[in-house]
């Protein structure tokens, strides 16, 4: 009897889950008809399709505004798994979600222009845009007027003006960067194996230098060493002796945002993996074959050192994008801001009206992370939804006041008064929305060798952990955070594929 019931329950659960999955897929593939834009509504322009802007779009009631999204990228990119794309552990399309899919599921139509915002005129309320894609129509530059603007353009790669960086290194911010690295890794390996290559040259070509010991640099170094250990050295045993990864960091340690014990754990894991960490080493110049670095010795003296490389990956953090820098230069209230647009506690750009900024391009005293950007986007969606609701209620209040003034009987006047009071109550509740408050959930980073480090906020304290269990946590956390079910399935499939068949070592 027990077995019969267990069987029935399992069967019912199976049928239920299949039904839910089938419905989700059907819903994804068959979005409902959308409301057409209403010209009487305000135009809300959103720049960017990254963490900040897409989190905003997810929660925004688009029927309240005429929403226009502008970005040179017609997809959302799940950046936390981008380092895994450099070695083919994950295919880049698995962590991309087309913006058209996201927008098509909104209640009211949202316009999308694949273009870069080149200039923002905050006084005239106009954004100038340019189509920088390869295919161009007769018009590739135009302007978009707005009533309200949200700037979520992220940041560009910091090079600190160091000579040779842009020309000779690979960055790791976008899909193209990850693809370029993946190709270059195999190019270096195959070139090193070219007939009669001199031993010194083989050594140089098989030496990857990663500049920047923040999480991007650490995660990439870990992924690359994994690739070598699990696949490269099996298929190309000749590179075994010379393949090497060096991580160069200007500060005394890597991962400065993590707790001391996790920094030590990362450094000891790298040592086990034979990844060299060069701390207190600041890169000053880059050529096509070597970097020149200033090394601070334990006695405080400084020395210039030349380090040859085959592949150079530059991960030294963020810099302000030109469009943001240009806007900042035009607003006196932004005079003292250096790292991005200074915003108030409601994310309004200081010195402007009806312009907000979210994510890496905004300076709100938080680290430039996806976690901050997505919480800011969600907050702004609630704020904009509330503002639209408040406006509707205020219009209704005006109408009810007229009704009350023109009421012919005491009964009608009292009825209107009742409705006015209800509207006022609703308005008070809506206007109670507090300032943005960031809730830090913790920091997570993959360090290679199937180990991860995590500083997790727990009640009033913090839990620091590192190792294989943390790696399993890292995997499940990022899998659950992927944008869509489709992304989750594809990422899980990529992990399984790499486990069964290894990563693909073909170039291209
Ligand atoms: P982005 O996500 O960078 O999006 C900016 C958008 O603006 C893009 O769509 C871009 O195409 C668009 N854009 C650019 N210029 C213009 C323009 N002129 N006009 C219009 N649109 C424009 N953070 C974490 O919290 N956890 C992690 O594990 C993590 N891992 C990371 C791994 C890597 C490799 C990298 C590079 C970053 C990682 N981050 C992580 C940081 C996180 O990705 C950023 O903080 C986050 O992407 C910032 O979101 P954003 O919306 O401000 O910018
Ligand atoms: P970062 O700003 O965190 O680190 C850059 C590092 O480069 C710094 O430690 C700096 O000292 C070093 N550096 C700068 N110039 C140098 C030079 N000339 N020579 C040698 N070293 C130099 O940058 P990163 O890693 O790109 O991260 C950017 C943002 O994205 C951060 O806020 C980070 O927290 C977030 N991020 C988070 C991840 C995670 O949580 N797992 C993963 C990747 C990024």
Residue 43: pLDDT band by 50, 70, 90 thresholds? Answer: very high
Whether the pLDDT of residue 415 is over 90: the answer is yes
Q: What pLDDT is recorded for position 431?
A: 86
For atom 14 of ligand 1, the residue with the nearest CA is 153
pLDDT tens, residue by residue, 461-502: 889 999 999 999 999 999 999 999 999 999 999 999 999 999
pTM, whole model, 2 decimals? Answer: 0.94
Q: What pLDDT is recorded for position 331?
A: 97
Whether the pLDDT of residue 457 is over 90: the answer is no
**Ligand 2 proximity of 371 Cβ (cutoff 6 Å):** no
Whether the pLDDT of residue 28 is over 80: the answer is no
Q: What pLDDT is recorded for position 364?
A: 87
Return the ligand number nearest the Cα of 320. Answer: 1
Is the backbone of residue 359 left (phi > 0), alpha (psi -120 to 50) or beta?
A: left
Whether the pLDDT of residue 369 is over 80: the answer is yes
Task: Find the mean pLDDT for residues 421-440.
Answer: 92
| Least confident segment among 309-313, 318-322, 371-375, 457-461 | 457-461
For atom 26 of ligand 2, the residue with the nearest CA is 317
**Ligand 2 proximity of 211 Cβ (cutoff 6 Å):** yes
Count of CB atoms situated within 10 Å of the CB of 508: 8
Q: What pLDDT is recorded for position 32?
A: 87
pLDDT tens, residue by residue, 141-151: 999 999 999 99
Q: What pLDDT is recorded for position 137?
A: 95
Task: Find the mean pLDDT for residues 133-157.
Answer: 97
Interval between CA 264 and ligand 2 midpoint (Å): 17
pLDDT tens, residue by residue, 208-266: 999 999 999 999 999 999 999 999 999 999 999 999 999 999 999 999 999 999 999 99
Which candidate, 376, 389, 391, 384, places its Cα nearest to that of 344? 376
For atom 24 of ligand 2, the residue with the nearest CA is 317
3-state per-residue secondary structure call for 366-414: CCCCHHHHHHHHHHHHHHHHHHHHHHHHHHHHHHHHHHHHHCCCHHHHH
Ligand 1 nearest-atom number relative to CA 373: 49
Q: What pLDDT is recorded for position 27?
A: 76
Q: What pLDDT is recorded for position 237?
A: 97
Whether the pLDDT of residue 458 is over 90: the answer is no
Whether the pLDDT of residue 31 is over 90: the answer is no
The ipTM value here is 0.98
**Ligand 2 proximity of 154 Cβ (cutoff 6 Å):** no
Alpha carbon distances (Å) from 342 to 83, 333, 352: 30, 8, 11
Q: What pLDDT is recorded for position 114?
A: 98
Question: What is the 3-state composition of the chain as percent helix, strand, coil, each rounded to the nearest 5?
Answer: 45, 25, 30
Task: Find the mean pLDDT for residues 269-294.
Answer: 98
Share of the chain above pLDDT 90, in %: 91
- Structure letter (DSSP) for residue 483: S
Q: What phi and psi values does residue 397 have, to the nearest 5 degrees?
A: -60, -40
Residue 22: pLDDT band by 50, 70, 90 thresholds? Answer: confident
Q: What pLDDT is recorded for position 284?
A: 98
Tell me which residues have their CB closer than 6 angstroms to ligand 1.
Answer: 47-53, 70-73, 79-80, 82-83, 116-117, 152-154, 172-173, 216, 321, 323, 359-361, 368-371, 373
What average pLDDT does the chain have? 95
Q: What strands lie across the sheet with 442-448, from one edge to the other?
A: 442-448, 451-458, 461-467
Which candidate, 282, 339, 348, 381, places its Cα nearest to that of 158? 339
The number of residues making up the chain comes to 508
Q: What pLDDT is recorded for position 16?
A: 92
């Amino acid at each position: 009897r027990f077995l019969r019931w267990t069987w029935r329950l399992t069967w019912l659960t199976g049928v239920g889950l299949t039904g839910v999955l089938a419905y989700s897929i059907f819903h994804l593939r068959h979005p409902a008809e959308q409301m057409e834009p209403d010209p009487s509504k305000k135009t809300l322009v959103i720049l960017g399709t990254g963490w900040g802007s897409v989190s905003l779009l997810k929660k925004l009631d688009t029927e309240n505004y005429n929403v226009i999204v502008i970005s040179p990228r017609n997809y959302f990119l799940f950046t936390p798994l981008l380092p895994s794309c450099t070695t083919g552990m994950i295919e880049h399309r698995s962590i991309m979600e087309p913006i058209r899919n996201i927008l098509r599921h909104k209640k009211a139509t949202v316009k999308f222009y694949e273009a870069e915002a080149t200039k923002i005129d905050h006084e005239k309320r106009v954004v100038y845009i340019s189509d920088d894609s390869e295919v161009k129509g007769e018009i590739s530059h135009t302007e978009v007027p707005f009533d309200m603007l949200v700037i979520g353009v992220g940041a560009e790669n910091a090079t600190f003006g160091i000579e040779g960086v842009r020309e000779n290194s690979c960055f790791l911010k976008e899909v193209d960067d990850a693809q370029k690295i993946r190709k270059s890794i195999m190019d270096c390996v195959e070139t090193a194996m070219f007939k009669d290559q001199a031993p010194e040259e083989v050594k140089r070509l098989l030496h990857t230098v990663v500049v920047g010991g923040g999480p991007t640099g650490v995660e990439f170094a870990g992924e690359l060493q994994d690739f070598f250990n699990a696949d490269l050295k099996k298929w190309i045993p000749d590179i075994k002796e010379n393949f090497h990864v060096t991580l160069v960091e200007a500060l005394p340690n890597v991962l400065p945002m993590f707790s001391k014990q996790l920094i030590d754990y990362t450094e000891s894991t790298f040592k086990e993996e034979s990844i060299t960490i060069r701390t207190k080493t600041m890169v000053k110049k880059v050529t096509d074959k070597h970097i020149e670095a200033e090394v601070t010795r334990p006695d405080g003296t400084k020395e210039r050192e030349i380090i040859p490389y085959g592949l150079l990956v530059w991960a030294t953090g963020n810099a302000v994008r030109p469009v943001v820098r240009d806007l900042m230069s035009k607003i006196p209230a932004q005079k003292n801001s250096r790292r991005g647009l200074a915003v108030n506690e409601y994310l309004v750009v200081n010195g402007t009206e009806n312009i907000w900024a979210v994510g890496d391009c905004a300076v709100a005293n938080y680290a430039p992370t996806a976690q901050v950007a997505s919480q800011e986007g969600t907050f702004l969606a609630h704020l904009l939804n509330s503002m639209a609701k408040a406006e509707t209620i205020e219009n209704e209040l005006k109408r009810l006041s007229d009704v009350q003034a023109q009421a012919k009987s005491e009964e009608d006047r009292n009825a209107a008064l009742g409705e006015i009071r209800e509207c006022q109550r609703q308005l008070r509740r809506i206007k109670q929305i507090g300032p943005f408050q960031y809730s830090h959930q913790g920091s997570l980073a993959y360090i290679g060798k199937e180990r991860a480090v995590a500083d997790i906020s727990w009640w009033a304290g913090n839990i620091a952990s590192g190792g294989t269990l943390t790696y399993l946590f890292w995997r499940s956390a990022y899998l659950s955070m992927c944008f869509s079910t489709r992304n989750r399935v594809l990422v899980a499939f990529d992990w399984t594929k790499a486990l069964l068949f290894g990563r693909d070592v073909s170039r291209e």
